[in-house]
Amino acid sequence: MFIVTLNAIINGLLYGSIWGIIALGFTLVFGVMDFVNFAQGFFVIVPAFFSYFLFVSWGIDPYLSLLLIMPLSFGLGLLVYKYVGVRLLDEPHSAHIVVTLGLCFFIENLLLLLAGGDLRNAVTSYTSDTIQWGWMMMSYPRFWASAVAWICVFLLFLFLKYTDTGRSMRAAADNREGARIVGIHVDRVYLVAFGVSILIAGIAGAVIIPFYLISPFTGMDFLGKAFAAVIIGGLGSIPGAMIGGLMIGVVESIAGVFFRASLGNAVTFFIMILVLIFKPNGLFGE
């Protein structure tokens, strides 16, 4: 039982890195431009479906499809910012929520129309492979998905820390007017931040499809996980999103071992409520 639990924790950490980067995209946009994007889950689902159909129709490996999905997701992010996001920047948060929920509803039903409501994943040659070191057992595709997630985090860290655009992004997050005064093109920075946020979501979608069953309704689940991760870690905090993601991954995985899996979601949201009550800025927020 001890080893089962340890393996459940490892499995939870692997899943948690994925929930973490989905939350990362949400928190980045919130932190930089104070924008609440309730459609984040669907920017994971759409590329995941795209990757699925590339695999089923032409046998293109989901990891190879990243080459196509990354620029497309980034472009999608730019479009959404240009036609939706920018109009909402000065509106209250409730308007962000309503419009992005409308977007969710549209995408969900478009996917239902095009692909139907079945659960599916891309059954690749390595989907059921495992990596075994002694007592430790890991699913091969989950291991690589989480590796890609951590590469994303590392690259994002470098981007924010060392590039000019990344620095301006942090400046704009800190003080919008101040950034404008010192000559930063705040609008351009916002555009890039939105694109990057959707790009990360797209990467998550492509790496998750070899082992995770998705349907158009899964977008809402991903959204819920992103919220929980973001609230637990602190809204707007990038390390917080990753830590929150890992935490809910582990909690759900353990709940799946000891209780029924469908209770995992409830436990996650219950933790989220507790955090909202006792540490509204997140466990790691200031």
Q: What is the DSSP string of 246-272?
A: HHHHHHHHHHHHHS-THHHHHHHHHHH
Q: Does 162 bind other proteins (CB under 8 A)?
A: no
| Count of chain residues binding other proteins (CB under 8 A) | 40
Q: What token pair was written down for 189?
A: 């920075």
Least separation in angstroms between CB 57 and other proteins:
22
| Cβ closest to other proteins, residue 154 vs residue 270 | 270
Provide, rounded to whole angstroms, the least separation between the CB of residue 276 and other proteins: 5
Binding flag, residue 272, other proteins (CB under 8 A)? yes
Q: Answer positive or negative: Cα dihedral of 195, 197, 198, 204.
A: positive
Burial annotation 24-52 (CB, 10 A radius, 16+ → b, else e)? bbbbbbbbbbebbbbbbbbbbbbbbbbbb
- The residue range among 137-145, 168-176, 197-205, 261-269 that interacts with other proteins, by the rule CB under 8 A, is 261-269
Q: Is 150 in the site for other proteins (CB under 8 A)?
A: no
> Does residue number 258 form part of the binding site for other proteins (CB under 8 A)?
no
| Cβ atoms of residues 249 and 16 within 8 Å | yes
Footprint (CB under 8 A) of other proteins, residues 59-118:
84, 87, 93-95, 97-99, 101-103, 105-106, 108-110, 112-113
Q: Select the residue interacting with other proteins from 70, 72, 79, 220 (CB under 8 A).
A: 220
Distance CA 78, CA 85 (A): 9
Rounded to 5 degrees, φ, ψ at 280 are -60, -20
Of 9, 78, 89, 263, the residue at the interface with other proteins (CB under 8 A) is 263
**According to CB under 8 A, which residues from 175 to 214 bind other proteins?**
none
Length of the chain: 286
Task: Please report how close the Cβ of residue 262 comes to other proteins at its closest, in angstroms.
Answer: 5
Please report whether residue 119 would count as binding other proteins according to CB under 8 A.
no
The three-point CA angle 198-35-166 to 5° equals 60
If you ran DSSP here, which 8-state letter would residue 163 be given?
S
Closer to other proteins at the Cβ: 1 or 113? 113
Query: By CB under 8 A, is residue 266 in contact with other proteins?
Result: yes
> For the chain, where are the alpha helices, taking DSSP H only?
2-33, 42-58, 62-80, 86-88, 93-115, 140-162, 164-174, 176-181, 186-208, 218-233, 238-258, 262-278
Cβ distance to other proteins smaller for residue 88 or 207: 88
Residue from 254, 267, 284, 285 in contact with other proteins (CB under 8 A):
267
Please state the closest distance from residue 116 (CB atom) to other proteins, in A.
9
Which lies closer to other proteins via its Cβ, residue 88 or residue 138?
88
Q: Assess 235 for contact with other proteins (CB under 8 A).
A: yes
**What type of residue sits at position 174?**
D
Q: How far is the C-alpha of 46 from the C-alpha of 43, rounded, in Å?
A: 6
Residue ranges that bind other proteins, judged by CB under 8 A: 36, 84, 87, 93-95, 97-99, 101-103, 105-106, 108-110, 112-113, 220, 224, 227-228, 231, 235, 259-260, 262-263, 265-267, 269-270, 272-273, 276-278, 280
